Amino acid sequence: MLDRIDTPIGQAAVIHYTEADFQVLSPGSHVVCAVTGKAIPLDELKYWSFGRQEAYVDAIASVKAEQAANT
């Protein structure tokens, strides 16, 4: 995991998501939720889609993205 002291404040990280984990490709302090646009600190990131390579702020946003993808 990244050391927040070495991470520029306000810069979004570039992430590669897998089924069970994620890999930081470019350091940053957060990622942006694909549904809400809210910043998600990397140490709080729990929801993502590896198929769509998107992060979600919470389970509700994750379900909304899944529903939108299946319509």
**57 and 36 in contact (C-beta within 8 Å)?**
yes
Residue 71 pLDDT: 84
Rounded to whole angstroms, the maximal C-alpha distance in the chain is: 42
Task: Provide the residue type at 41 as one letter.
Answer: P
Residue 5 has pLDDT above 50, yes or no: no
Chain-centroid distance, C-alpha 68 = 18
pTM recorded for the entire structure: 0.83
Q: For residue 10, with 0-12 CB atoms within 10 Å meaning exposed, 13-18 middle and 19 or more buried, which class applies?
A: exposed
Residue 56 pLDDT: 98
Domain segments of the chain as ranges: 4-69
Residue 24 has pLDDT above 70, yes or no: yes
- pLDDT, tens digit, 9 for 90 and up, residues 28-57: 999 999 999 999 999 999 999 999 999 999
